[in-house]
A and B are shown apart, each in its own frame.
Chain A
Amino acid sequence: MSINEVPQNWEPKILVFACNWCTYAGADLTGLGRLQYPPNIRILKVPCSGRVNPQFVVKAFQRGIDGVLVAGCHPGDCHYSTGNYFTRRRFLIMNRMMEYIGIEPQRMQNKWISAAEAPKFQQVITEVTEEIRALGPNRKLRDDQWKN
């Protein structure tokens, strides 16, 4: 089987960087409220979305993740006052950079999800999963996986 064929039982692997104070609590509330969302995500808790170094994202793609979602508090709600404003500037640049080198923009997304927005968390995860499922497995930035 060629490596470029999509395996039959393939499921997207999505990494979610969730800020400790908003998105992680929001994900918790989604569970408490028994709201169903696709099991394709791996949540990685970070103290603040400002903690997410753009290299984390590139490294995740190198190691075989199909899509990355960086989520944090809404601007103005940051537990550390201004952390997510830095995230916003950094990822406005980073997202365009990833698109520019050929990663589909759906694979690298950012969303603000507060601790009270359980339905939004459910909706965002469902949307992101479906978008990436439509794109298929990511071979870009991975070792010897592109055009082999």
Chain B
Amino acid sequence: MEKLTQEIRKTAKEILEKGQANVVIGWEKGSAWYISTPVFIDKAEDVERLVWDEYCVNNLAKYLLDYKTVEGKVAIFVKGCDARGVNRLIQDKQVDREKVLIVGLSCPGMKDEKKAKELGKNAEIPLVKKCQECRYPEPIIFDIFLGEKGKKEPAKGKDFSDIKAIEKMSSDEKYDFFSENYDRCLRCYACRNVCPACSCRECIFDQSKSGWLGKANNASNNMFFGITRALHVAGRCIECGECERVCPVNIPIMLLNKKIIQDIDTLFGDYDAGLDPEGKLPLGGFEYSDPEEFM
């Protein structure tokens, strides 16, 4: 990883010096050894701040939106999941492919920062859950590729065992489980802000006068928020798990997203979001041969 960090710095320096992009988005070392935070470099002399280690878990794709109206190109370092996030934004016509210089990195899987904090520096730290289940560790879209491919064995299929476990519960148990989780929700909207599938110019939850989402913070409104958000990203969720990672109260948000992914797969055929920037979205269209249950 040390070697790749040097390569990243060299590439970033070249990009900025040659003027291929005005800004480079990457990771720098954060306030602790288990934190690597996003960094935005616009001067060639600052490239030494860039790092690549086991904690570069942040999905950088969403930051491209901050440069949507800025002149010039943006260079971005991407892992496998970030690349799907960039594809996602291109597919939603949020980002112009011509304006982005994508530098792909071979991802060995990222380690869990919360576990690292608990276990300490010398312990064996497990991979983040999304990396254990990752099926696309290599970026699927890039202009420049750094590192060697095949650092991580991709998972074979999608793992829906946690969804199946919930489906087996009774209605009341299910509702207890979700309402207890959503009771904790602060409605900080961090999950929305970090999500590469959430790119509406004005989010429904910001339209406070529309009356959709009540201001009172209770389980009912919080669940309205949770269900609505899951349905809004239905068919577009790239399973990067960022929503769950940023949640300050540890709500298992991916349980809702993965349920929808599972249903789309079984009802309308296997679909992976963010692979094809030109493709049609599962809920943006229909087939005459869709399952008929409403007769």
- Show the binding face of A for B, using Cβ within 8 Å: 54-55, 58-59, 62, 75, 82, 85-86, 88-97, 99-104, 110-112, 140-144, 146-147
Contacts and interface: CB of A to CB of B under 8 A. Distances in A.
Contacts of B6: none
A75 B292 contact: yes
B174 A93 contact: no
Interface string B31-45: 000000000000000
Nearest to B226: A101
Q: Which residue, A82, A99, A141, has most C-beta atoms of chain B within 10 A?
A: A141
Interface of B is mostly: helix
A121 to B, nearest CB: 14
The A interface is mostly helix, strand or loop, or mixed, namely: helix
Interface of B: 163, 166-167, 171-179, 204, 212, 216, 218-221, 223-224, 227-228, 230-231, 234, 256, 259-260, 263-264, 267-268, 282-283, 285-286, 288, 290-295
A97 B291 contact: no
Given A58-B223, A88-B286, A112-B295, 14 more contacts: A54-B231, A55-B224, A55-B228, A89-B285, A93-B231, A94-B231, A95-B293, A97-B256, A97-B259, A100-B167, A102-B171, A102-B176, A142-B220, A144-B218
B227 A101 contact: yes
Return the 4 tightest CB-CB contacts between A and B, nearest first.
A102-B175, A102-B174, A85-B286, A110-B294
Contacts of B286: 82, 85-86, 88-89
A111 B295 CA distance: 6
B220 A93 contact: no
B259 A143 contact: no
Contacts of A102: 171-179
Contacts of A140: 175, 179
Contacts of B177: 102
A141 B259 contact: no
Contacts of B260: 93, 97
A98 to B, nearest CB: 8
B294 A58 contact: no
Nearest to A70: B294
